[in-house]
């Protein structure tokens, strides 16, 4: 077996047929690599001036080894020949020789027969039709293929267009004909017809700095300049500007129409705002022509060639029900035909700072101690103290001893003062965090002959996180091959991607319980700490009279020794097989198949030394009343949690491609059929009494409850769980575009999706989604006479996309959680009342766009307006509770999202020193236009973490209680029905939304970036400034109820109302006991905590030294880049007065990180 | 010339093209399928009908219907409102009252006209209808399962269970959201909407009180005909015993004492075991076992209101001193039912439910003994009444301390039975209905509260003894509100 889990001997059982496919792929790739450029031909070199014909023929015979047959009489008719040939084929040599002669020749095998030309009538007719088949490939100045270029025989109507590899062929072309090759944005080119024209390199129209973009929809390649839809291309250079181990973070601030939100540790991507409420709101990720639903972090960015973002209906409708949130198409690298082998090595290292643990506000140790003293005097801890096993803090312990008289007041105060000086964050910073280091290495080899192209890449990433004990690595391998068979009528492509990554986490998460606790003593030895809801120090000191296991928790020991750890191993591979067969001239058939398999194996060993194992064993232990001996129902030993999740996707696609250019008319069309299945499965199991040396464990009753050693309650062990999910879908699609004189382009698409998600009735209907679009290249019109405008194109599209909601079906469904009722019986809950009329969500998408380029490309860009309307969105409607359900879930809601996407590229200085600016500006404003559910009371509107749709307001609305300041007693004043009130319960439960202040969206509504690039000779410097406007954030606020429950990570305690008159200086209510939960909730939700999130961020900076042979002739390589990149550089401006980074309101911001790298091309 | 020939060739090609395009597309579809299914092991006829998720159950089998009935978070709850508004609790002080999280708890305590104060889905109305919805789904589903000798026993058990469950829920609704049962006016008084099928498209108006009670007994009869007579150890599963117990409770509430006594007799004939409290820990915060001898059917009041939690940590309420003082010093119920706080006040400990912090509102044999004793007293059968009362109380007193009750006056005996009923069944959710029915018979109980210096009173037979129907139910179904 190829894939084994090292060290443990756990085999991954890949399906047999997959192994077979993999083997076959490797074989094919290896074989083809060996075949590269194995074809050679007779080469002839001749240099003659007015030489006798016969002499030249003899010379050719000698060089070629061919036999020549002719009679001497004919030779006398020959003219002398002047030639200068170097390394040409025999055909070319003969052709040159016979130019203008009255003789003709035929080649048969290795024999050349020379005859006198006979010009009968038929011959003369034949001469007219004497023609050749012309082949060639149109490429841009950087060698990338130009699909859709037009090739016309000059003076005739015979035309064709190049395919996705830039290749074309024309049959029956007069040998002497001239071909005109044209492509928008490039200078037209004329060349003499020849059988094989090889690579025809096109030159960019003067003033243009960038090559023409070819965008990918995942189904076909479209030249952007002929696309009606809204596509944004992120080219390879832009994609690789930033350094990261993943592909998603490289999309930040480099493209219009995409909002990259990084809050806390989560990242969300959204294309043109949100147009669903509760369904999947993530953009569809497409890799290698198929949707990618696996773990995105397994993709190596070095394997990505470029990225296309499909934003509107015309661009994305081809993806049907999955396109409602936009589509991001990653195109992976491949080799190029007729290109020598090149080897690229890229390696970099990124160092990140320690996270700032002091970023999040919290009470000081001294303040916490004062609160504890206050509560102690209120008698809060009496019940706890009287229960001998319940945890009390060291301060409460001291106070109790003082109360009992075992400590004097001064002793107690002295002991407490010591604690006041301690800060757990200092120790966490010292022991738990470090600088992060990410290393990345990648090597790839690519190249191609006339009939084959290949790409091979291997990558290795090693990251050690800023959390001590946490690291991960990734190995990726990718190989692809494409070759032409059957006189280039058949193209076969294979692609294989493999990745193996592992994650290693040592130590269990330590949640600080008290701010003045210490995890290590001065010498660095681990100290025991207390746990919220855990056991008292004095109780664990005793350890059941010594019968039990040590019951102390020393987090630092666990971290250092890895007593509790988590290991994850992820294996994944993707196989893509494709075949394209040219049936006849304009029509080809293609078949594609993808298999993707991924599995994650997780192990969470907790050794007997770990607190978790000891605690569980102790908790369940008891003393047998008859024998007096200790009994351990949970066996002595470690705990081993094992989990496995697998993901399999299989997809097959058959497609007809049609590509025809007839004079002024160009038609491209695809029609296809696709079948797909995604399957996930997982299981989780836990072994007890685990001994790693013997790999043994002991059985434990998973349903039993073990009464606790201390009262009351019981412990139970983790039950084994498993589950699976499967998505099946069948789709039909059609996409066509028609262009007239490349001035007007009309496009249309249609797609129908059917799946197993919604149940039979919805399936029978499927969901038909369509789009239509128009493009007008205004600058090509004869009447358009503005010489300074290079390009002006207008685009308009309309169409429908869909959204998927996997949580709902048309049937009555119940869900069985793996829990039992009081009498140990499994039970189930109805999760879905039957709804026969359930449909897919639809999004109507209108896009209007202008593409322009002026002053010879000095200023170019696009401006687009969009309007997205979500229809039939799945949401909830209230129904009379007497039916047994309070909400009816169905297609009940609508939304509206509008916005603008602007991208402007400007060449400010274009001398040896160059200065380029890219400006990106987006707006996206959404609104709920129909939703019938109760919005809930004011409390539920305010505390909504998710979406709480209210008609007429943004999907993610920020509301707050109107704030009336503090009264003279330090209590907050609110409003009930417009009147000042302190009835917090009624304020919170009121349905009068007018008592709330509405601010706006919680999500940025205006965002974008500015990137400036400076270059001089081989040095390039660029930096990005990102900005986000038009949204609001909520600060966390002091909450006495949770403070009394021990949550000390709260702000503003020092600013609280303490004396009359303070209400003029502060908004923080006074500390009262008992706390009033309603008052706390009101204060926490009050408008005084709302701030604008607006910000301007110094996103990143990049410096690149790019050396090549043009600059340094002696360079031993063709290209050498040395680069540096820094990110998380902080904010330039922000509206918030509270947060250094308004996007980070809890925890700590991403620390500054800096990368250095080297890229060489041989 | 050349152009003409090209044109002909082109036309021919086009013709070929037209005919072949259909063939090609069929070929493509076939190829896609072949390629796709080559890697599959099973057949794909139902490719688009495949169940999408292992966690989803489309209930069709008896086991799956049983799983719906076993859901105690749906079927195991009774309405909270009678506990919040009866005289079995009082708030420690006004501040505690003010800090209550729910308006319902505040308003119900002082018997406000509007108790919901804008709150919706408070559960009191909805939970019972959810339980009915489940039962209706099970009844509808069972009708599609062919009965065979093999499955007959289980089919009947589930069929009976679902009907029992529906009867239980409708009674809980009618005794709270409809006026006290009135035989004379039952045809005109409003009951509750009766939903007998699982459809969610249909809105039912309120039935009459008579229709509601008829339905309850129709369902209870079906349950009796299908359930087993033997006691179940799973106290959420009904048997004939629980059916009789429920019937006795309902008839008592209706004032139909003869029928109530018959049901009580039938119940006790099948099962009459009592728990001897001398065997119960007086100090344990959880004195009873999950499967207590006395418990017939397990339900609790759901714990949405903190004041109703039965843990010693409930710092919101006291048990009124008036009630505490009713218990004799040798009465084991005082230490078993209540925990004494340091300041001398009392709070309710866990009862028959043992686990969880919600008070037990199910059926138990002690209630049936008291029903039997009450009904017997009402027909002046002093001997029978005292026998059942003494049989119960002897298990409640410290061994050797109980002096049997020996009252000969039926009216005085009835008073004694009712006092014992209040002491025995405290915090079981029965007190409110007892006040309703007894006032109807002329008992003349006035409830009163003193809160922040204000006295609130609820006079006998006040319309506020019937709770209002939640606002969102009225708004969405248009059914009629109670006069309050």
Instruction: Report the pLDDT averaged over residues B121-150.
Output: 92
Spatial contact of A1033 and A1093, defined as CB atoms under 8 Å apart = yes
Spatial contact of A574 and A497, defined as CB atoms under 8 Å apart = yes
B149 CB burial (10 A radius; 0-12, 13-18, 19+): exposed
Of the partner residues B57, B101, B134, the one whose CB lies closest to the CB of residue A813? B57
**Minimum Cα–Cα distance from B25: chain A residue:** A656
- Residues of B with CB below 8 A from A885's CB? 130, 133, 200
Of the partner residues A652, A725, A885, the one whose CB lies closest to the CB of residue B133? A885
Spatial contact of A433 and A357, defined as CB atoms under 8 Å apart = yes
Q: Does the bond joining A274 to the residue before it have cis omega, within 30 degrees of 0? A: no
**Strand locations in A931-1034, DSSP E?**
957-961, 974-976, 979-981, 996-1001, 1006-1016, 1019-1029, 1032-1034
The alpha-helical segments, DSSP class H, found in A138-294 are 236-239
- Token pair of A853 as six digits: 């380029």
B interface test, pick of A819, A884, A984, A1080 with most B CB neighbours within 10 Å = A884
Instruction: Number of A to B CB contacts under 8 A, please give it.
Output: 249
d(CA A661, CA A51): 46
Spatial contact of A1127 and A242, defined as CB atoms under 8 Å apart = yes
Looking at chain B, the whole-number percentage of residues with pLDDT higher than 90 is: 65
pLDDT higher than threshold 80 for residue B21:
no
Give how far the C-alpha of residue A274 lies from the chain's centroid of Cα atoms, to the nearest Å.
17
- Residues of B with CB below 8 A from A160's CB? none
Q: Does the bond joining A712 to the residue before it have cis omega, within 30 degrees of 0? A: yes
Spatial contact of A860 and A242, defined as CB atoms under 8 Å apart = no
- Token pair of A337 as six digits: 């035909």
d(CA A254, CA A270): 14
Q: How close B261 gets to chain A, by Cα (Å)? A: 31
Of the partner residues A656, A674, A825, the one whose CB lies closest to the CB of residue B234? A825
Of the partner residues A671, A881, A1074, the one whose CB lies closest to the CB of residue B470? A881
8 Å CB contact of B32 and A674: yes
pTM confidence score: 0.78
d(CA A959, CA A931): 18
Q: Which residues contact B131 (CB under 8 A, 6 or more apart)?
A: A884, B74, B75, B77, B165, B166, B168, B169
What pLDDT, on a 0 to 100 scale, did the predictor assign at position A18?
A: 54
The number of beta carbons lying within 10 Å of the beta carbon of residue A130 is 12
pLDDT higher than threshold 60 for residue B9:
no
Collapsing DSSP states into helix, strand and coil, what is residue A650?
strand
d(CA A347, CA A135): 40
What pLDDT, on a 0 to 100 scale, did the predictor assign at position A8?
A: 45
- Residues of B with CB below 8 A from A879's CB? 200, 476
Number of H helices, E strands in chain B: 18, 11
pLDDT higher than threshold 70 for residue B38:
no
8 Å CB contact of B67 and A826: yes
Q: Which region among A1072-1076, B408-412, B475-479 has the lowest average model confidence (pLDDT)? A: A1072-1076
Q: Which residues contact A73 (CB under 8 A, 6 or more apart)?
A: none
Strand partners, A774: A746, A796
The number of beta carbons lying within 10 Å of the beta carbon of residue A266 is 7
B interface test, pick of A587, A679, A727, A822 with most B CB neighbours within 10 Å = A822
d(CA B372, CA B385): 7
Q: List phi, psi (to 5°) of A287.
A: -130, 130
8 Å CB contact of A653 and B290: no
Length of chain B: 484
Label each residue of A371-398 as H, E or C. HHHHHHHCCCCHHHHHCCCECCCHHHHH
d(CA B342, CA B322): 19
d(CA A878, CA B111): 28
d(CA B369, CA B395): 12
The alpha-helical segments, DSSP class H, found in A920-1059 are 938-943, 984-989, 1040-1044
8 Å CB contact of A650 and B40: yes
Helix H or strand E segment including A929? strand A913-930
- Token pair of B162 as six digits: 């679902």
Q: How close A325 gets to chain B, by Cα (Å)? A: 22
What pLDDT, on a 0 to 100 scale, did the predictor assign at position A826?
A: 87
Spatial contact of A110 and A63, defined as CB atoms under 8 Å apart = no
A interface test, pick of B21, B56, B73 with most A CB neighbours within 10 Å = B56
- What does the radius of gyration of chain B's CA atoms come to, in whole angstroms? 30
Q: Is A364 on the interface with B (CB under 8 A)?
A: no
| Sign (positive or negative) of CA dihedral A202, A205, A209, A211 | negative
d(CA A674, CA A729): 8
Looking at chain B, the whole-number percentage of residues with pLDDT higher than 70 is: 89
Q: Which residues contact B194 (CB under 8 A, 6 or more apart)?
A: B170, B204, B207, B211, B212, B215
| Residue tagged 């309007």 (tokens) | A867
**Minimum Cα–Cα distance from A130: chain B residue:** B2
What pLDDT, on a 0 to 100 scale, did the predictor assign at position A337?
A: 85
Q: Rounded to 10 degrees, what is the CA torsion of A530, A535, A541, A542?
A: 180
Q: Consecutive 10-residue runs of chain A (1162 residues): their mean pLDDT?
A: 40 54 52 42 75 81 79 73 81 79 78 70 52 81 77 78 81 80 78 82 61 79 86 90 90 90 78 88 91 90 93 87 91 88 94 93 94 88 78 93 93 95 92 95 92 94 94 95 88 94 89 91 93 87 83 93 93 93 85 93 94 92 82 92 94 90 85 92 94 89 75 74 88 91 91 76 69 92 87 94 80 77 87 78 93 90 95 85 86 92 93 93 94 74 82 93 93 92 84 91 94 93 95 93 89 93 93 84 93 94 88 80 93 92 88 94 87
Q: Is A107 on the interface with B (CB under 8 A)?
A: no
Instruction: Report the pLDDT averaged over residues B249-267.
Output: 97
- Residues of A with CB below 8 A from B452's CB? none
Q: What is the mean pLDDT of chain B?
A: 88
Greater pLDDT, B3 or B344: B344
Spatial contact of A858 and A207, defined as CB atoms under 8 Å apart = yes
Q: What angle do CA A911, A913, A919 make, to 5 degrees?
A: 95
8 Å CB contact of B95 and A1074: yes
- What does the radius of gyration of chain A's CA atoms come to, in whole angstroms? 37
Q: How close B95 gets to chain A, by Cα (Å)? A: 9
Strand partners, A521: none
- Residues of A with CB below 8 A from B343's CB? none
The number of beta carbons lying within 10 Å of the beta carbon of residue A410 is 9
ipTM of the complex: 0.87
8 Å CB contact of A830 and B472: no
Q: Which region among A248-252, B31-35, B272-276, B356-360 has the lowest average model confidence (pLDDT)? A: B31-35
What pLDDT, on a 0 to 100 scale, did the predictor assign at position A7?
A: 40
- Residues of A with CB below 8 A from B470's CB? 881
8 Å CB contact of A656 and B25: yes
Q: Where does the pLDDT of residue B20 fall: very low under 50, low under 70, confident under 90, or very high at 90 and above? A: low
A interface test, pick of B16, B48, B174, B201 with most A CB neighbours within 10 Å = B48
| Residue tagged 């698409």 (tokens) | A749
Spatial contact of B472 and B122, defined as CB atoms under 8 Å apart = no
A282 CB burial (10 A radius; 0-12, 13-18, 19+): middle
Q: List phi, psi (to 5°) of A974.
A: -115, -165
């Amino acid at each position: 077996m190829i894939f084994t889990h090292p060290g443990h001997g756990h085999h991954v059982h890949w399906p047999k047929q997959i192994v077979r496919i993999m083997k076959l792929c490797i074989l094919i790739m290896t074989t083809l690599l060996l075949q590269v450029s194995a074809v050679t031909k007779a080469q002839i070199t001749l240099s003659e001036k007015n030489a006798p014909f016969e002499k030249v023929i003899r010379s050719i015979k000698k060089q070629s080894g061919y036999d020549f047959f002719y009679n001497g009489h004919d030779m006398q008719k020959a003219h002398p020949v002047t030639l200068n040939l170097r390394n040409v084929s025999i055909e070319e040599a003969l052709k040159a020789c016979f130019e203008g002669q009255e003789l003709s020749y035929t080649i048969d095998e290795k024999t050349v027969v020379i005859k006198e030309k006979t010009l009968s009538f038929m011959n003369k007719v034949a001469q007219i039709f004497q023609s050749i088949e012309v082949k060639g490939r149109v490429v841009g100045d950087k060698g990338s293929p130009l699909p859709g270029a037009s090739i016309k025989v000059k003076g005739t109507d015979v035309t064709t267009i190049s395919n996705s590899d830039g290749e074309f062929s024309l049959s029956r072309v007069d040998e002497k004909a001239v071909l005109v090759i044209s492509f928008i944005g490039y200078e037209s080119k004329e060349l003499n017809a020849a059988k094989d024209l090889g690579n025809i390199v096109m030159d960019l129209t003067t003033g243009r700095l960038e090559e023409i973009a070819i965008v990918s929809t995942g189904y076909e390649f479209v030249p952007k300049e002929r696309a009606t839809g809204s596509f944004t291309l992120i080219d390879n250079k832009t994609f690789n500007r930033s350094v990261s181990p993943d592909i998603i973070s490289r999309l930040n601030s480099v493209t219009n129409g995409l909002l990259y939100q990084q809050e806390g540790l989560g990242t969300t991507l959204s294309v043109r705002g949100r147009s669903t409420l509760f369904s999947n709101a993530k953009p569809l990720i497409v890799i290698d022509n198929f949707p990618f639903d696996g773990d995105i972090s397994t993709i190596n960015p070095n394997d990505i060639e470029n990225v296309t973002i499909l934003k509107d209906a015309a661009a994305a409708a081809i993806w049907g029900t999955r396109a409602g949130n936009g589509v991001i198409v990653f195109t992976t690298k491949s080799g190029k035909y007729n290109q020598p082998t090149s080897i690229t090595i890229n390696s970099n290292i990124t160092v990140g700072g320690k996270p700032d643990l002091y970023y999040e506000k919290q009470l000081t140790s001294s303040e916490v101690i004062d609160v504890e003293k206050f509560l102690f005097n209120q008698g809060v801890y009496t019940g706890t103290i009287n229960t001998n096993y319940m945890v009390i803090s060291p301060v409460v312990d001291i106070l109790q001893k003082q109360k009992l008289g075992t400590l004097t007041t001064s002793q107690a105060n002295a002991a407490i003062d010591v604690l006041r000086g301690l800060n757990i964050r200092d120790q966490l910073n010292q022991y738990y965090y470090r600088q992060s280091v990410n290393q990345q290495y990648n090597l790839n080899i690519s190249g191609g002959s006339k009939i084959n192209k290949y790409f091979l890449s291997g990558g290795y990433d090693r990251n050690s996180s800023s959390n001590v004990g946490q690291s991960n690595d990734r190995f990726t391998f990718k190989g692809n091959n494409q070759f032409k068979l059957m006189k280039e009528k058949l193209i076969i492509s294979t692609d294989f991607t493999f990745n193996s990554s592992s994650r290693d986490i040592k130590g269990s998460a330590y949640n600080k319980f008290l701010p003045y606790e210490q995890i290590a003593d001065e010498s660095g030895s681990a100290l025991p700490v207390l746990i919220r809801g855990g056991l008292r120090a004095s109780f664990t000191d005793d350890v059941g009279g010594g019968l039990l296991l040590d019951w102390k928790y020393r987090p630092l020991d666990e971290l250092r020794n890895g007593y509790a750890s988590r290991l994850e191993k992820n294996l994944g591979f993707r196989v893509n097989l494709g075949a394209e067969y040219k049936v006849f001239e304009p029509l080809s058939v293609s078949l594609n198949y993808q298999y993707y398999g991924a599995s994650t194996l997780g192990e969470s060993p907790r050794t007997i030394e770990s607190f978790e194992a000891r605690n569980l064993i102790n908790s369940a232990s008891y003393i047998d009343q008859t024998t007096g001996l200790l009994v351990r129902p949970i066996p002595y030993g470690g705990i081993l949690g094992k989990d496995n999740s697998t993901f399999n996707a299989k997809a097959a696609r058959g497609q007809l491609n049609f590509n025809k250019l007839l004079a002024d008319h160009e038609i491209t069309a695809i029609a296809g059929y696709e079948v797909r299945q995604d399957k996930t499965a997982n299981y989780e199991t836990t072994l007890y009494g685990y001994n790693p040396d013997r790999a043994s464990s002991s059985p434990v009753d998973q349903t039993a409850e073990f009464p606790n050693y201390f009262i009351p309650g019981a412990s139970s062990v983790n039950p084994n769980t498993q589950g699976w999910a499967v998505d099946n879908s069948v789709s039909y699609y059609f996409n066509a575009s028609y262009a007239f004189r490349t001035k007007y382009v009309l496009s249309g698409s249609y797609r129908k999706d059917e799946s197993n998600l919604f149940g039979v009735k919805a399936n029978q209907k499927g969901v038909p989604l369509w789009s239509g679009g128009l493009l007008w290249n205004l600058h090509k019109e004869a009447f358009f006479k503005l010489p300074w405008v290079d390009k002006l194109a207008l685009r308009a599209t309309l169409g429908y996309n869909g959204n998927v909601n996997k949580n709902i079906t048309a049937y009555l469904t119940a869900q069985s959680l793996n829990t039992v009722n009081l009498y140990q019986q499994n039970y189930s809950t109805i999760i879905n009342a039957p709804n026969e009329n359930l449909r897919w969500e639809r999004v109507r998408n209108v896009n209007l766009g202008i593409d322009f380029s002026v002053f010879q490309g000095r200023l170019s860009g696009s401006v687009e307006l969009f309007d997205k309307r979500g229809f039939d969105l799945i949401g909830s409607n209230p129904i009379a509770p007497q039916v047994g359900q309070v909400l009816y879930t169905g297609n009940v809601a609508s939304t509206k999202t509008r916005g603008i996407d602007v991208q402007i590229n400007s060449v400010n200085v274009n001398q040896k020193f160059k200065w380029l600016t890219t400006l990106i500006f987006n707006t996206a404003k959404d609104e709920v236009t129909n939703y019938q559910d109760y919005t809930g009371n004011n409390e539920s509107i305010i505390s909504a973490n998710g979406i709480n749709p209210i008609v007429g307001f943004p999907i993610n609305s920020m509301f707050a209680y109107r704030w009336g300041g503090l009264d003279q007693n330090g209590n907050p004043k609110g409003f009930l029905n417009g009147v000042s009130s302190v009835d917090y319960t009624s304020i919170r439960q009121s349905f009068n939304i007018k008592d709330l202040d509405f601010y706006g969206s919680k999500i940025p509504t205006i965002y974008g970036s500015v990137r400036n690039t400076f270059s001089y000779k081989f040095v390039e410097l660029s930096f990005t400034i990102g900005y986000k406007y038009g949204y609001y954030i909520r600060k966390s606020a002091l909450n006495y109820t949770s403070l009394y429950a021990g949550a000390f990570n709260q702000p503003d305690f020092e600013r609280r109302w303490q004396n009359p008159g303070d209400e003029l200086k502060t908004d923080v209510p006074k500390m009262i006991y008992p706390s009033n939960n309603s008052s706390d909730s009101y204060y926490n939700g009050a408008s005084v905590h709302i701030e604008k999130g607006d910000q301007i961020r110094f996103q990143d900076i990049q410096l690149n030294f790019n050396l090549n042979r043009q600059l340094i002739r002696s360079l031993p390589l063709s290209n050498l880049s040395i680069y540096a990149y820094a990110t998380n550089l902080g904010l330039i401006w922000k509206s918030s007065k509270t947060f250094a980074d308004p996007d980070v309101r809890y925890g700590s911001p991403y620390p500054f990180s800096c990368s250095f790298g080297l890229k060489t091309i041989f | 010339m050349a152009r003409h020939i090209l044109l002909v060739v082109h036309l021919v090609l086009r013709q070929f093209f037209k005919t072949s395009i259909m063939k090609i597309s069929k070929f493509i579809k076939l190829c896609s399928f072949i390629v796709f299914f080559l890697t599959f092991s099973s057949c794909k006829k139902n490719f688009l009908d495949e169940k999408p998720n292992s966690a989803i159950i489309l209930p069709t089998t008896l086991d799956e219907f049983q799983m719906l009935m076993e859901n105690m978070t749906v079927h195991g709850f009774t309405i909270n409102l009678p506990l919040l508004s009866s005289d079995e609790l009082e708030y420690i002080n006004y501040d505690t009252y003010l800090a209550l999280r729910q308006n319902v708890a505040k308003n119900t305590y002082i018997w406000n006209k509007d108790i919901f104060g804008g709150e919706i889905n408070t559960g009191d109305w909805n939970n019972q209808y959810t339980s009915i919805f489940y039962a209706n789904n099970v009844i509808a589903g069972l009708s599609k399962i062919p009965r065979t000798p093999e499955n007959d026993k289980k089919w009947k058990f589930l069929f009976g269970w679902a009907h029992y469950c529906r009867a239980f829920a409708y009674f809980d609704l009618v005794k709270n959201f409809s006026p006290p049962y009135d035989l004379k006016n039952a045809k005109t008084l409003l009951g509750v909407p009766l939903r007998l099928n699982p459809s969610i498209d249909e809105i039912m108006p309120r039935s009459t009180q008579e229709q509601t009670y008829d339905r309850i007994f129709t369902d209870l009869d079906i349950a009796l005909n299908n359930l087993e007579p033997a006691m179940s150890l799973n106290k959420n599963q009904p048997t004939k015993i629980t059916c009789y117990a429920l019937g006795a409770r309902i008839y008592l509430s209706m004032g139909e004492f003869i029928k109530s006594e018959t049901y009580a007799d039938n119940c006790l004939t099948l099962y009459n075991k009592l728990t001897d409290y001398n065997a119960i820990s007086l100090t344990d915060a959880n004195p009873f076992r999950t499967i207590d001898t006395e418990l017939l059917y397990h339900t609790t009041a759901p714990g949405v209101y903190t004041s109703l939690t039965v843990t010693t940590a409930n710092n919101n309420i006291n048990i009124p001193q008036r009630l505490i003082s009713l218990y004799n010093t040798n009465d084991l119920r005082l230490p078993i039912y209540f925990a004494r706080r340091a300041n001398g006040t009392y709070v309710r400990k866990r009862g028959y439910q043992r686990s969880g912090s919600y008070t037990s509102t199910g059926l138990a044999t002690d209630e049936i003994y008291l029903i039997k004793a009450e009904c017997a007293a009402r027909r002046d059968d002093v001997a029978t009444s005292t026998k059942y009362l003494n049989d119960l109380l002897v298990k409640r007193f410290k061994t050797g301390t109980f002096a049997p009750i020996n009252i000969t006056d039926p009216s005085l005996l009835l008073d004694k039975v009712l006092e014992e009923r209040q002491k025995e069944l405290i915090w079981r959710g029965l007190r409110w209905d007892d006040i309703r029915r007894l006032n109807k018979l002329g008992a003349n109980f006035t409830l009163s509260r003193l809160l922040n210096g204000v006295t609130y009173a609820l006079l006998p037979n006040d319309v506020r003894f019937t709770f209002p129907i939640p606002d969102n139910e009225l708004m969405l179904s248009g059914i009629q509100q109670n006069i309050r």
